[in-house]
């Protein structure tokens, strides 16, 4: 399971469940990293990715 947590300016956290992890094959995590990098947001993951995929904002 891939879950993203958005920490809002008021301190609240919104968790978003995206896709089953085996289905994403690392693409969802890389898409999140590309978006965070493009927007200048911090990106934290709770573990190493199993598969490295090259995904850019253009791919989205």
Is 58 within 8 Å of 31 (Cβ atoms)?
Answer: no
Task: Please report the pLDDT score of residue 36 as a whole number.
Answer: 84
3-class SS of residue 57? helix
Phi-psi region of 11 (alpha: psi -120 to 50; beta: other; left: phi over 0): left
Q: List the pLDDT tens digit at each of the 60 positions of the chain.
A: 667 788 889 989 888 776 665 666 677 777 888 888 888 888 877 766 555 566 666 765
3-class SS of residue 29? helix
Task: Please report the pLDDT score of residue 34 as a whole number.
Answer: 85
Interior CA angle at 23 toward 55 and 17, to 5°?
85
Give the domain ranges of the chain: 3-59
Task: Please report the pLDDT score of residue 53 as a whole number.
Answer: 60
């Amino acid at each position: 399971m891939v879950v993203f947590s958005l920490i809002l300016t008021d301190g609240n956290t919104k968790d978003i469940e995206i896709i089953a992890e085996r289905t994403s094959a690392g693409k969802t995590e890389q898409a999140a990293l590309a978006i965070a990098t493009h927007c200048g947001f911090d990106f934290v993951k709770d573990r190493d990715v199993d598969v490295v995929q090259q995904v850019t904002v253009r791919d989205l």
